[in-house]
């Protein structure tokens, strides 16, 4: 869990997890705990998405419920011509402004009229 949190918090490549367990085992050869570490990209990805991601989502929901916020929307097109809408919440927490990523949504058409129900 801590390795997954470290990777996510510092925005490190998940591919590092192919090497970190071996390095820890070499650094701490006398530690039974270090020798028992078995986690790769697949497991760390799952932990980040299903455990830390869910907890982070709950914390963000609580922040949005208890503080003043605004929604920032930005549409962009990637290299494959797929259009996406990025949603960011700008929140004031104890007189500090912070931005939190909410979602990246695929969209068919990038006009306001296309997203307003009739």
pLDDT tens, residue by residue, 10-69: 888 889 888 888 998 999 999 998 888 888 888 888 887 777 777 788 888 899 999 888
Domain-wise residue ranges, the chain:
1-66, 68-118
Counting beta carbons within 10 angstroms of the beta carbon of residue 5, is it exposed (0 to 12), middle (13 to 18) or buried (19 or more)? middle
Record the pTM.
0.55
Tokens 């530690």 found at: 31
């Amino acid at each position: 869990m801590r390795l997954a949190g470290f990777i996510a918090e510092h925005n490190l490549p998940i591919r590092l997890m192919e090497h970190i367990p071996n390095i820890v085992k070499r650094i701490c050869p006398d530690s039974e705990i270090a020798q028992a570490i078995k986690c790769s990209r697949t497991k760390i990805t799952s932990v980040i998405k299903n455990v830390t991601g869910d907890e982070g989502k709950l914390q963000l929901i609580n922040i949005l419920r208890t503080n003043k916020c605004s929604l920032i929307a930005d549409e962009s097109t990637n290299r494959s011509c797929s259009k996406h809408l990025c949603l960011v919440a700008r929140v004031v927490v104890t007189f500090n402004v912070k931005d939190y990523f909410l979602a990246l949504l695929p969209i068919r058409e990038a006009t306001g009229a296309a997203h307003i129900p009739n």
